[in-house]
Structures are given as C-alpha cells and as structure tokens.
Structure 1
Amino acid sequence: MSTKGKVIKCKAAVAWEIGKPLCIEEVEVAPPKAQEVRIQIIAVAVCHTDIHIIHPKNTEFNFPVILGHESAGIVESVGPGVTSFKPGDKVIPFYAPQCRKCKFCLSPLTNLCVKIGSFENPLSSQNLMEDKTSRFTCKGKSVNHFLGISAFSQYTVVSDTNLCKIDSDVNLERICLLGCGFSTGYGAAINTAKVTPGSTCAIFGLGGVGLSAVIGCKVAGASRIIAVDINSEKFTKAKALGATDCLNPRDQQKPIQDVIIEMTNGGVDFAFDCVGGTEVMKAALNCTTVGWGSCTLIGVAMDSKEMILSPLEILMGRTVNGTFFGGWKSKDSIPKLVTDYKNKKFNLDVLITNTLPFDKINEAFDLMLQGKSIRTVLTF
C-alpha cells in the first residue's frame, strides 16, 4: 500500500533534553511539502557532532530534537516541484546544501550556500524546514530537525537542496560516511589545504574525520604524515591508512608542537586540527613551518573559546584555514566520491569499527565517548 501523501509512523531516537540518553519513540513523519523529499533511512553513523548537541554545556539548541546526519537511504516520496528524485532512488542527505543559484553556489571559491540559514551558527539554523515548521511529531509535540537531516529516524524529510542521488549498486552501510565524517576530513586535505606531493603533514585527532584526513594526505602524495592522539590504540589504524609517525602528547617530555618541529627541521607544511579545543588548534598552528605553513581547522568542541594569535604567528607566513564539509560542493561532488569509492581510490570500510541495530544507539554513543570506536553504523 502506497504511503505517498500520508503520515508515516516509525521508530526514531528523540533527544528530549540536554545530558540525557536518547529515547526510542514512535514518531509521526508528515509528507514532504514543495521541494522536499521523504526518505527511508537505511544506515546512519554516529558522529561527535551528534554528541555535541546533548552535551551538558550546550545551551544553544532547542529540544526536543531528532539528531543524526551521516546517513544514506532510499526515496519514499517527493513533494511538489521535485524533479531530480523519484521513489526508489538511493540517496545521501547532507548538511551542506547546494541550491546552485546563490552567489556562493555560483562562486568557485566556496562550497557554502545561503540555504544553510545562519553562517554564524549552522548547527542550529536548520532545525526546521524552510517554511519554519517541523515534519516530526511525537506524543503530540512538535520535534525539531537537526542540520536539515534528522537521520536518527527510520523516515525523515529533507529539502531537495540537501540531497543527491547515487548509484543503485552501492552499499549504503558504507557509503553513509560520505554524508559527513569522511568527506570533511578527506576534503580538508584535498580541497582546503591542497596538500602537495612530497609535503609533510601533522593531523591532530584520529577519529573518523582525522583518519579521513590521513587518507586525504596519503592520496595527495604527502611524504610524511604525523598522526597525533592521546589514545595510542588508534595508531595501528592510522599507520595502516598512511601515517608515517604516531605521537601521543601524554608520552612526550615537551609540548607536542615542539616535538613535531624538531622531527621536521622547523615544522610541517600542513597541519589539521580534527579535535576542536583551542589549545589543540594553537598546537596545530604552531607546529607548522614559518614562511608557508598552513593550518586547517576542522573540529569544534564544546569548550572552544576564542583563539588568541600573536600577529607574528601570521606575519611570518603561516596561514589559518577553516573548512566546512571538506570544501565539497555537495550535490556536484558526492556522486563523484561514490565513484571514487567504487574504484577503490579510498577505503571507507576500515573506518567502520562497529555495526549495531538502531535500538542500540545509546551504546553507540558510549563507544564513541570511550574512544572504542571510529564509526559505529546503525541499521534499521
């Protein structure tokens, strides 16, 4: 029986309040409106950004909310005006929309898009659909969206600007990582920093994003890739992906940036912060060489404060970059990344350490918080 135009009742993980586990609930998902698509989520990975929202220090987000943004699924139905998707299409939703019409989309200099909503706080600017209403209801109460996706629900509704069609023969349990973590880290090296052959790189933080940055640096031809993390258990995987050196700051007798400077005769060409704290950001910047060192900031942590720089740190030739979704123009680029994955240009499988049924979502959160997983993929 067709569900087109009807409310769908399904399972979702609802965050009712800060600092509390998610609750598996039955939710109602309304049909898509104009330029919207309703998707059946097949696989969704847990990312630190999801954990960030329910952190006790976070006071800037409205609850209740359905989190989840690193996912892949199948189109169930489309709203009026949608011409690029049809029921049955395999798709990847993403938090970096591409309308292909605004000044940002028309510029080759950025992958931002006005459909993000607020450039000052993109985490909370896509908490409702464009008409400022929600498609989710639970226990008679409206539930907020998250990053325009809300993939911790068996069905969700997204704007057609936040979605791309992918090949029908791909494994959605693997390719879902292109919705955030892999694309962000890999693209930071390839697109934002533009790592060069023979260069030296330092990557701070070896979660899904950091290891993806390792892959990016390797593909770009870096000759030395220094991986940094306080969890030494991640070093085996980092080396398998291309890291040449692994450092645990807790094992060093001096600041980690000083260690890296000594190892590289003055500092690396490229550094990447995949953690988010301001101390790590400063260490990443300070481990780069004067003259041309490039530091790319990727991570955001709850305790991030203002980053204070000395003018000399910049005047002596270093640059600081920020990256959003790895610099990829989403609708144009993600299908190409799918092709690269199929052609074995990179390996997503090695980043997935756990696969669990959706009902074990809080266990997946715990695994990430304890440093026991890189990516846990949940399946319905």
Structure 2
Amino acid sequence: MNKKVETQGKRILLSETVELGHKNQKGQVFTDPNEMFFDAERTPAFLTGSEVIREAIKRSSLDISVAYPITPQSEAAALIGELYAEGYLGDYFRGESEFAVMGECAGAAFGGARVFTTTAGPGTMRAMENFPMWAGSRLPIQVCVTCRGINSPLSIQPDTLEIYYLLETGMLVWHAETAQDLYDWILGGFLVSEQPDVHVPLALCCDGFFVTHTKDTVLLQSEEMCLPKYDPYRSPVTCMDMEVPPVRMMRDPFVMKSNYISYMTHASWQLEIHAAVERSRKHTKALMGGSLIETENLDREILIVSSGTAVSQGREAIRLLEEEHGIKVGLVKIKSLRPFPHEEVREATANAKHIIVPEFNVVGWLAREIKAIVPNNERVYAGPHVAGGMTMPSEVIVEEIMKHLGIKANTLSSRGS
C-alpha cells in the first residue's frame, strides 16, 4: 500500500545553494523537502519508535551524532551508530556523560555540522545547562527527548516533567503523540530549526516506552531519498567567527568592563532568541499541515486538550464516554509547545464549557499554559495526572470527567467486581 501525505499552508523554504538531484556516497538523492513531505509516495512499515528514529536519521543527511546511554533512548542511539557503520552519517561517538554529549554537539554545530542526539530523564537534567547555551549561540541542534521519570525514587517509566524544564530554554519544543509524528518531525525539525530567521535548537519530545518501544505502522518515503545537506552559511551568526555575537559575547572582556553594556547585550540577545522561536511559527505550520493543533468536534461543550500520548488516551476516553454514558466530548491535540499555539487554542476552546487537560506529570504544566491564555480560565480542569511512570487508563480520564461534571460513576477499581 502506498500513500501520500496531504498538507495545507505554505511550502518549506529551501536554500538556493543546495544541489538537488545529486547523490550522496550511499546513492541517496538529495530531494526537495516539499517533494519528500507532501508529494512522495509512502510505504507502511511496522516499527518501534526507536527504529523510526533510525529511519528518519537515515534520510536526514546528518553530519554527526553524539551518544550516551540512558533508558529509554539507548536503543535509538545504538541504531544511529549502526547507520554510521553503514556510512549514512559523517561521524558518531559516545560522550563521557550527558553533559559532555551536549557540549560536544555544540562544538560540532559551531563548526557548521547538522547535529542530532538523544537523551532522557536524568540525562536531560544533567545536560540542562547546555540547552540555553545552544539557543543563545543560535545552534540548530536537534535533540530527541524520550521522556521518563526524573525524580526520586528513581523511575525509568514515562513522565513528561522534563518538558516543563525545557520550555523556557529558548529552544523549539514539539511533543509527538505517535511514531508517525516522531518520524515526520525529526526530518521536518531540521528544516524548521535551520531556517535563517529561526536558527535555534529543537527539543523533539516523545513519551518513553509508549512511543519508543511499542510498534506502530508508520508511512515512510523511499530510503533512496534524503534531505538536502545543511547550509551553515544561512545562519544569522557567522560560522565560528569570534568577532560577532554570540561567540565574542561569551569571552570578550567588554562584558567585564561595563555592566551597562553587558546588561544591554544580554537583554537584546535573549529577546532575539524568543523572537526567533516566534518566527519559527510560520515554518512549523507549513510542516504540520497548516496548524500547530489538530481538532475534532469543537462544537461540543467538553473538550480534552493535551499533547503527546495523553492525546491517545484521550481519544479512547472520548469513545468510552459516548458509548457507555452518552456524553459527547471533543479533542484538541497540541503539537508544538514552543512556539505555543495561543491563538489556535483560544479559538478552538472558545465555546467549550469544560476544558479537560490530562497529563503524564504531577505538576500540570500544560494546564498552566492553557490557563494563562484562555479567557474564563476557570473552565480549565487540570487533570487527571499520573507521575513517576504510572499508566493513565482511558477509564481514569472518563472517571475524572464524570466527577468534574457531578455525575456518579463506577471507579476503575470496581470494574469487573
């Protein structure tokens, strides 16, 4: 079975210097991304999320990947190593720690390389200092964050708390629901983050195990296609030039000579990074089908609004609510967290009386984001929450919604008794 992917909105902007139609050393053809994403025939494959990462990187014209093992991203990192052995990327090695990995990725990106790495949970936290540095240095590195628990007691199970810490690093932050999202957004992420008016890193997040280790049917382009190579000279910051910001800013004595100059330099640069994230909106919309959200049945008074695999659990909860209780609920799937779809969410939820936000973390960071932007935010119900890797059965979402509506329902623990 072959299938094309349809899209709306603007097309992906491409460097005029790329050599489309030429072949790399593996015989892959450098292909216009617009053809790869929107026109090329696709064939289904039944893969784990880790295998999906391998397939995306195989078509990414990647220059370098640096790896360090931590569950649940270790398998993906190892599979990228196999691609290096097969000749699909320029360099690959293991760093000394998660912190070292992100510094080594920065060095490669400063030198003009297209860079990809993976991390998870405590690894994300150990590496955290590097992420604002990447953004401030305008390095379009992509890191796939396979979310897991970060707090004590230790858990290797899915928990999206680390996304909360990433939101204000200056990076783009996307949250994949499915393996198909993960595959498409790895490829598309390079194109968005490398745009001259963007040129900041991307944290592409997915929920560990739920996505990385389960199998799903994913539509793939021919492996004979690959993205055009990264053109570092489209960067708004000259490649490894020590006389222009941000590199000079980080080492030049003028910062120590004048507090006023230092304050102004840092303030203006941080504002520019936030502006770059905002400018990515138009490119991200083009990649994601014309919108940063997906919606179903917005005419309903109750809406589930979520991101990642909580969306999948919400879909099943919607089916159960209608079939078992006659309660009709709509859905809003948030795909990009930075930039955040403020206008789309406000418009989608304008007529809802109840906005339910299930999350795989204890703090409810997505509900906070939504409460901050929608009018009459008492409509937003933060929950249900699970944390530390607990699963969130769709029945739990059903129970929470019925409890919120004041309708008595059997608890999940009483089912079958």
In the superposition, the TM-score normalised over structure 2's length comes to 0.26
In the superposition, the TM-score normalised over structure 1's length comes to 0.28
User: Which protein is richer in strand relative to its size?
Assistant: 1
The structure whose Rg is larger is 2
